[in-house]
Amino acid sequence: MDQKSFTYPKQEKLKSRTTIGLLFTEGKSVSKYPLRLVYIPAPEPQEGMLQMGISVSKKHFKRATDRNYFKRVLRETYRLNKHLLLDKLDKPYSIMFLYQTKDRLSYEDINTKTIQIFEKFLVQEGL
């Protein structure tokens, strides 16, 4: 695996409001406490196989610094483990990654859960 595959380039960032809206109205989801992955096959043409958005609840973390910390951790675990998805995907997906608890898990725990949720997603999609 080359170094390039461990990046999180601009075209992988989910920015489209319409796609994000579709994710929450029509998306399927996979959970592995405290993470949740909501996904749909990409509704509009995109450059890569994945577009990923990250969300941490304001309800659980009032301070922006805390939310930003967990968003950084989720982005990092995605960046390091996305090869698990990219190696098996046959069509593009839009994915929203959510952190859904007020518990402050360690980076190692979140990384383990990320790997488990990616595997669960692949099983659910039959890939």
- The token duo for 125 is 């999609």
Reported residue count of the chain is 127
- Confidence at residue 127, expressed as pLDDT on a 0 to 100 scale: 80
N-terminal to C-terminal alpha carbon distance within the chain: 20
* Spans of the chain, pLDDT less than 70: 1-4
- Confidence at residue 46, expressed as pLDDT on a 0 to 100 scale: 73
- Confidence at residue 100, expressed as pLDDT on a 0 to 100 scale: 93
pLDDT tens per residue across span 103-113: 999 999 999 99
- Report which of 82, 83, 85 is spatially closest to residue 127, judged by C-alpha positions: 85
- Confidence at residue 111, expressed as pLDDT on a 0 to 100 scale: 96
- Confidence at residue 24, expressed as pLDDT on a 0 to 100 scale: 93
**CATH assignment, 14-124:** 3.30.230.10
Distances (CA, A) of 117 to 79, 81, 103, 121: 14, 11, 18, 6
Measured between alpha carbons, how far is 66 from 60 in angstroms, rounded to an integer?
10
Show me where the domains of the chain are located: 14-124
